[in-house]
Structure 1
Amino acid sequence: MTAVIGLLLMLFSVTDGVVTHCDGRQNGAQCYGALGGSVSIKMMDDFSEIHRYNLYKNKTVVMLGGKDKKPDSIMNNKYSFIPSNGTFWINNLSRNDSDEYRLRTLDTNGKLTSIHSLQLSVQAPVSSVSLVSECLSQGEMKVSCSSEGGDSPQYRWTLNGKSLTEAELLSGNKQTNIITLKQHVSGRLVCSVWNHVSSVSNETNICTCGFIYINCTFNGTKISKWVFKENNTLCVEPTTVSPTETHFTEDWSMLRCSLMFLFSVVSFVGICVYFKWKKIKSEKDEQSAERYRTQVLEDSSENEQALYIND
């Protein structure tokens, strides 16, 4: 067990790349490994009773071993084998590691007891995904999904957590990297890019591009189309006022005019009365002053006559 743990630690220290796993027990299995990473291939359930085994890469022996013999790798840092669980490892994967691998087992007499093969394909993993969206002339939205790296990338689209439907797609399909969404589509759009050794996704929020759907009859012509809301002049009816509102408005206008006329008349009458009162008061004041002067003169004349008689 200690030897197995030590071997695993050695395997993971060889590379910090992607680790993939494959069941290669079935003859003709297809396995995938990430470029720069490692792949573990389950070759057999138990090798403890296998007298001798050889592993070939195409026609070249890459691993030898047996019941009483420690596995011997042609390239110690490249290939490893754990007999107790029948797992074969390939580290620091390169393009050249893509090939056919064959396992041959032999008995004590050197007779071939079994042979089966598998195909290994090494792919570059997807490193990142970017999304670019564009509003089209009729309110549709074109969305492009692109990835860096990655061999044989495949695409998958979801909207608000659900797979896109034909009712939402104007063109393209949910397996292509460029799609066009219909005018009414909005929400959280996710593009996932994947291959057999990696999967990366990115998301964006989709809006309706400011378009509205017009469905009406105008001047006898039926209109059904998407238009930009800010520039819409179709089927826009003029503002109408109900008869009750019209009557109330007219009554209020007449009342307001009547009140204004009444106020003007009252103001005019008030001004006339004021000036009339001022005139009457002024005349009365003059008459009083005149009577006072006359009285003073009369008193003065009488006083002079009295003085003359006395003298």
Structure 2
Amino acid sequence: MEAVLGLMVILLGVSHGVETHCDGRQDGAQCYGALGGTVDIQLMDSTSEIPRYHLLKNSLKILFVRNNKVIYNTIAHRSLVFLSNGTFRINNLSITDSGDYTLKSFDSDGTTSSVRTLQLFIQAPVSSVLLVSECLSQGEMRVSCLSEGGDSPQYSWALDGRTLTDAKLLSRKIKNNIIILKQHISGRLVCSVRNNISDVSEEQKTCRFINCTSINGTEILGWMPVNSNSLCIEPTTEPTPVTPTAVGTFWFIFGLKAAVVILSLSGIWIWFTWKKKTILEGPAVPEKVESPDNSVFMIEMSPCSNT
């Protein structure tokens, strides 16, 4: 009946979330379970050779097994006992499941044969990690690692797969979730957040110097995260943009050159036209003959008189 009930709990989906395993065979063991998840506590190797045992939580008996049969289980609605391997599974864990657990084993005559204790801690798992980065004026990079959920989170950093050392940092906060990288440190920066029942990480690339025009036309100049390059307009085939002033100057020079060419051609055409007309019509004023060959000179002779 207990086994059937435990199977029904699993099939109904009560056990969701993170599953953890704890070895409770050593006295003083510390076990961890995820809030809303499942924990398997291995109490012993086998129950077949133990006539009777009790499991107590904070001195309150919650489980009683005798002759390899479950006599009662106070949390049977969300737990299951695997008699073959001595494992006690608790589903849908809550904060109230944290506490001290004591396993008492008895011989056939009722004499206590062993007593072992363990501590169970229930923690909320880390659900997600967000990296918030800011590139400073000289190329330094401030990065904050923010985690959602998670009890007692622990932060660790890596750069290109290696543990980030203080030699590459200007500073780090006590909780280790905010760091400032020195200038010109580049690579893949990873922040990992973990606790005893979860481990989540997030990656961020470091800074680079960007000088470009953004999609909305503004200038981007300075140290930016590497992925900020997507904000820039892709370069075209003509890297130098043509401004309106440049366009006006171009057409002015073009018009001036065209006018010079037209005037030159017009002058040449007028000259050739005049020259042709002069040759066909001849000179307008006849030439003055200085010494004609057929000229006759008339000389008047007066008679001489003898006085």
Q: Give TM-score, length-normalised by structure 1.
A: 0.65
Moved more, 111-120 or 183-192: 183-192
Instruction: Tell me, in whole angstroms, the C-alpha distance in 2 between the residues paired with 1:137 and 1:210.
Output: 12
Shift of residue 5, structure 1, vs aligned partner? 8.8
The residue type paired with residue 157 of structure 1 is W
Instruction: Tell me, in whole angstroms, the C-alpha distance in 1 between the residues paired with 2:182 and 2:210.
Output: 13
Residue equivalent to 1:49: 49
SS of 1:208 mapped into structure 2: strand
Give yes or no for the alignment of 1:10 onto 2:5: no
Query: Does the Cα contact within 8 Å between 1:139 and 1:183 map onto a contact in 2?
Result: yes
Query: Does the Cα contact within 8 Å between 1:14 and 1:77 map onto a contact in 2?
Result: no
Residue equivalent to 1:177: 177
Residue equivalent to 1:104: 104
Shift of residue 136, structure 1, vs aligned partner? 2.2
% identical aligned pairs:
52
Residue equivalent to 1:162: 162
Tell me: CA distance 1:109–1:60, structure 2 relative to 1, closer, same or farther (3 Å).
same
Instruction: Tell me, in whole angstroms, the C-alpha distance in 1 between the residues paired with 2:87 and 2:181.
Output: 47
Instruction: Tell me, in whole angstroms, the C-alpha distance in 2 between the residues paired with 1:123 and 1:85.
Output: 26
Shift of residue 141, structure 1, vs aligned partner? 0.7
The residue type paired with residue 10 of structure 2 is L
Shift of residue 7, structure 1, vs aligned partner? 4.0
Residue equivalent to 1:126: 126
Tell me: CA distance 1:101–1:209, structure 2 relative to 1, closer, same or farther (3 Å).
farther
Give yes or no for the alignment of 1:93 onto 2:86: no
Instruction: Tell me, in whole angstroms, the C-alpha distance in 1 between the residues paired with 2:163 and 2:181.
Output: 13
The residue type paired with residue 143 of structure 2 is V
Instruction: Tell me, in whole angstroms, the C-alpha distance in 1 between the residues paired with 2:62 and 2:176.
Output: 40
Tell me: CA distance 1:129–1:68, structure 2 relative to 1, closer, same or farther (3 Å).
closer
The residue type paired with residue 162 of structure 2 is K
Shift of residue 189, structure 1, vs aligned partner? 1.6
Unpaired runs of 5+ residues, structure 1, are 212-227, 230-270, 292-297, 299-311
Instruction: Tell me, in whole angstroms, the C-alpha distance in 2 between the residues paired with 1:132 and 1:167.
Output: 22
Instruction: Tell me, in whole angstroms, the C-alpha distance in 2 between the residues paired with 1:79 and 1:9.
Output: 10
Instruction: Tell me, in whole angstroms, the C-alpha distance in 1 between the residues paired with 2:197 and 2:154.
Output: 12
1:1-311 equivalence runs, <5 A? 7-8=6-7, 10-11=9-10, 13-172=13-172, 176-209=176-209, 286=283, 290=286
Shift of residue 200, structure 1, vs aligned partner? 1.7
Shift of residue 6, structure 1, vs aligned partner? 7.9
Query: Does the Cα contact within 8 Å between 1:77 and 1:91 map onto a contact in 2?
Result: no
RMSD: 3.4
Shift of residue 128, structure 1, vs aligned partner? 1.5
Instruction: Tell me, in whole angstroms, the C-alpha distance in 2 between the residues paired with 1:290 and 1:20.
Output: 130
Shift of residue 8, structure 1, vs aligned partner? 5.0
Shift of residue 10, structure 1, vs aligned partner? 3.3
Instruction: Tell me, in whole angstroms, the C-alpha distance in 2 between the residues paired with 1:47 and 1:80.
Output: 14
Query: Does the Cα contact within 8 Å between 2:29 and 2:118 map onto a contact in 1?
Result: yes
Shift of residue 11, structure 1, vs aligned partner? 3.5
The residue type paired with residue 88 of structure 2 is F
Shift of residue 72, structure 1, vs aligned partner? 2.3
SS of 1:103 mapped into structure 2: strand
Q: Kindly provide the CA deviation profile for residues 42-87 of structure 1, in whole angstroms up to 9, marking residues without a partner as x.
A: 1111111100000000110000002243352112113321111110
Q: Which has the higher helix share?
A: 1
Figure out how many residues of one structure are paired with residues of the other and give that number: 230
The residue type paired with residue 198 of structure 2 is S
Instruction: Tell me, in whole angstroms, the C-alpha distance in 1 between the residues paired with 2:68 and 2:139.
Output: 73
SS of 2:101 mapped into structure 1: strand
Shift of residue 201, structure 1, vs aligned partner? 1.8
Tell me: CA distance 1:33–1:68, structure 2 relative to 1, closer, same or farther (3 Å).
closer
SS of 1:14 mapped into structure 2: coil
Tell me: CA distance 1:70–1:103, structure 2 relative to 1, closer, same or farther (3 Å).
same
Unpaired runs of 5+ residues, structure 2, are 212-221, 224-267, 288-293, 295-307
Shift of residue 106, structure 1, vs aligned partner? 0.2
Instruction: Tell me, in whole angstroms, the C-alpha distance in 2 between the residues paired with 1:65 and 1:4.
Output: 13
Residue equivalent to 1:246: none
SS of 2:96 mapped into structure 1: helix
Shift of residue 119, structure 1, vs aligned partner? 0.3
The residue type paired with residue 39 of structure 2 is V
SS of 1:167 mapped into structure 2: helix
Residue equivalent to 2:263: none
Shift of residue 168, structure 1, vs aligned partner? 1.9
